[in-house]
Amino acid sequence: MSAPPFQAGDFVWCAFPERENPAQPAATQHLSYILAVSAVAGTSQFAALTAYTTSKLWSAPTLPLGVRAFDQEAAEALGQQRPFLMDFRRLAFIPVTAAWFPRLDQPGSFIQGRAPQKLQDQLLQEAMDLLRRHSELIQRAGTAWPRRQQ
């Protein structure tokens, strides 16, 4: 693959890993938000940092740290059909392969919306701030995370 099939800011279908099996693609597809895409050093492959999204809305009056809500109007502006939450406490860094992104070969149904650049910058900043300041809150899933230095 000479270029990734999507870019930061896209909402795409992927086999976002389940909490029970964080290093395995899920059996079902889930819409996730692409925070970043990078080349894997020494290969012709790419990896994507993705954030979990859900249409199950939060019922408490305030959202927990790392969760951002998008109402109906904001969701529609991003190409989504209903309100949703983006949860930066669930991040996956996964290879850009058909195992993780089963609809790679279906361009018309793969990308389900896109965030404008200003929002992309804000979302990436929120995720990076959470990683730096509150990494204990984050469930890191996927197989592309760099190994931690001992």
Residue type, 146: P
Any residues with CB less than 8 A from the CB of 148 and at least 6 apart, and which?
none
Q: Could you tell me how many residues make up the chain?
A: 150
Task: Indicate whether 148 pLDDT > 80.
Answer: no
| 29-67 confidence digits (pLDDT tens) | 999 999 999 988 888 899 999 999 999 988 878 999 999
Mean pLDDT of 67-95: 95
The pLDDT confidence band at residue 149, using thresholds 50, 70 and 90, is very low
Q: In this structure, what token pair is assigned to residue 87?
A: 């949860």
Task: Indicate whether 19 pLDDT > 60.
Answer: yes
pTM of the model: 0.92
Residue 1: per-residue pLDDT: 64
| 114-130 confidence digits (pLDDT tens) | 999 999 999 999 999 99
| Domain extent listing, the chain | 10-141
Average confidence score pLDDT of the chain: 91
